[in-house]
């Protein structure tokens, strides 16, 4: 990934985004996040974010498959993600408007 | 089971964290190597230790709710809140009665049975709450503080109708 400024790396937001289309375990999340954002989260960072999101009640674990445990968004997590997306969209719209020539 | 190069790093986490997420992280670390991943895990493990030591980690989050519920079962924890609830109901009942019947509260030497009842229900709590803190509250500071906060909040709620009547 050449352009580091183009990376987006809010780990909790990225985990929520990764789980938005269905449950995933850690490996799948890492690959999905890298493909989506250009950021490769470290394993410690990923599980730090997973722990915080689970404590907030925004994601929940499913039955483990061997050592891989999938997670999914809760209703509260879905609402939080929608809210964060809306904020991000406002920032993007404002930033784009301000950058465009008058 | 394959042995990854960074699997050992899971041992750097607090034990409660390892019990909950250790196997998953270990699985992930089997495909990781290099100083970048190592530094990432080191930093994350240090952060989990900070959370653990400050009472915000996995261990405390798992036990906090059950601690509060267990502590709330002691009479000295819930009786003050019940008394506040009864005092509030009594006040609201008296106010409603006065409004419906159009009764005028007169200044009197004796405040009356209801006022004394209210004072007793609140006053008794000044004996029960310190007992609760001495007997149970200090054993788990977070759970004790939570219940103390609820007890104080319940008393403050009984002051709201009084304040509204006075102003």
For chain B, the average pLDDT equals 84
Strand A71-73 with A59-61, pairing: antiparallel
Which of these, A46, A41, A42, A37, lies nearest to A6 by C-alpha position?
A37
pLDDT value at position B1? 43
pLDDT value at position A1? 41
For chain A, the average pLDDT equals 88
How do residues B126-147 score in pLDDT, each as one tens digit?
A: 999 999 999 888 877 778 899 9
Q: How far is A88 from chain B (nearest CA, A)?
A: 26
The answer to whether the CB atoms of A44 and B43 lie below 8 A apart is yes
> What's the burial of A33, exposed, middle or buried (CB within 10 Å: 0-12/13-18/19+)?
buried
Q: Quick one: pLDDT band at residue B165, thresholds 50, 70, 90?
A: confident
Across B79-92, average pLDDT = 93
Q: Quick one: pLDDT band at residue A21, thresholds 50, 70, 90?
A: very high
CA distance B45 to B143: 26
Does the pLDDT of residue A6 top 70, yes or no?
A: no
Interface of B with A (CB under 8 A): 6, 17, 20-21, 23-29, 31-32, 36-37, 39-45, 47-48, 58, 61
Contacts of A15 in chain B (CB under 8 A): none
Does the pLDDT of residue B2 top 50, yes or no?
A: no
3-class DSSP state of B50: helix
pLDDT value at position A9? 60
Chain B within 8 Å of A40 (Cβ-Cβ)?
no
CA distance B42 to B89: 55
The two tokens of residue B77 are: 């924890």
How do residues B44-69 score in pLDDT, each as one tens digit?
A: 999 999 888 776 777 666 667 777 88
Q: How many CB atoms lie within 10 A of CB B26?
A: 21
Does the pLDDT of residue B105 top 70, yes or no?
A: no
Chain B within 8 Å of A44 (Cβ-Cβ)?
yes
CA nearest to A49 within chain B: B44
Q: Quick one: pLDDT band at residue B121, thresholds 50, 70, 90?
A: very high
The two tokens of residue B50 are: 């900070």
CA distance B90 to B120: 12
Q: How many CB pairs under 8 A join A and B?
A: 62
What's the DSSP call for residue B33?
A: -
CA distance B151 to A21: 44
pLDDT value at position A23? 96
Contacts of B61 in chain A (CB under 8 A): 55
What's the whole-model pTM score? 0.59
User: Which range, of A11-25, B109-123, B141-155, averages the lowest pLDDT?
Assistant: B109-123
How do residues A31-56 score in pLDDT, each as one tens digit?
A: 999 999 888 899 999 999 999 999 88
pLDDT value at position A67? 81
What is the ipTM score, two decimals?
0.81
Q: Quick check: B115 and B123 in contact, CB under 8 A?
A: no
Chain B within 8 Å of A49 (Cβ-Cβ)?
no
Q: How far is B17 from chain A (nearest CA, A)?
A: 9
Phi-psi group of A38: left, alpha or beta (phi > 0 → left; psi -120 to 50 → alpha; rest → beta) = left
Chain B within 8 Å of A61 (Cβ-Cβ)?
no
Contacts of A46 in chain B (CB under 8 A): 28
Contacts of B20 in chain A (CB under 8 A): 51
Does the pLDDT of residue A2 top 50, yes or no?
A: no
Does the pLDDT of residue A7 top 60, yes or no?
A: no
CA nearest to A28 within chain B: B28
């Amino acid at each position: 990934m050449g352009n580091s400024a183009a990376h987006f790396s809010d780990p909790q937001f990225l985990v929520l985004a990764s789980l938005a289309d269905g449950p995933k375990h850690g490996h799948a999340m890492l690959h999905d996040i890298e493909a989506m954002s250009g950021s490769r989260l470290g394993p410690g960072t990923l599980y730090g974010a997973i722990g915080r999101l689970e404590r907030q009640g925004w994601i929940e674990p499913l039955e483990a498959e061997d050592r891989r445990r999938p997670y999914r968004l809760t209703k509260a997590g879905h609402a939080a993600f929608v809210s964060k997306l809306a904020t991000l969209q406002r920032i993007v719209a404002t930033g784009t408007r301000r950058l465009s020539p008058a | 089971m394959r042995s990854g190069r960074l699997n050992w790093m899971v041992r750097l986490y607090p034990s409660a964290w390892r019990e909950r997420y250790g196997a998953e992280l270990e699985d992930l670390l089997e495909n990781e190597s290099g100083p970048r991943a190592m530094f990432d895990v080191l930093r994350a493990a240090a952060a989990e230790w900070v959370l653990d030591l400050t009472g915000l980690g996995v261990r405390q989050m798992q036990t906090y709710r059950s601690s509060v519920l267990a502590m709330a079962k002691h009479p000295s924890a819930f009786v003050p809140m019940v008394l506040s609830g009864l005092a509030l109901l009594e006040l609201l009942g008296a106010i409603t009665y006065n409004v419906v019947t159009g009764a005028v509260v007169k200044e009197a030497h004796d405040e009356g049975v209801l006022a004394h009842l209210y004072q007793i229900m609140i006053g008794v709590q000044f004996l029960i709450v310190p007992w609760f803190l001495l007997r149970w509250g200090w054993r788990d500071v977070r759970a004790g503080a939570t219940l103390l906060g609820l007890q104080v909040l319940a008393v403050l709620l009984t002051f709201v109708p009084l304040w509204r009547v006075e102003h």
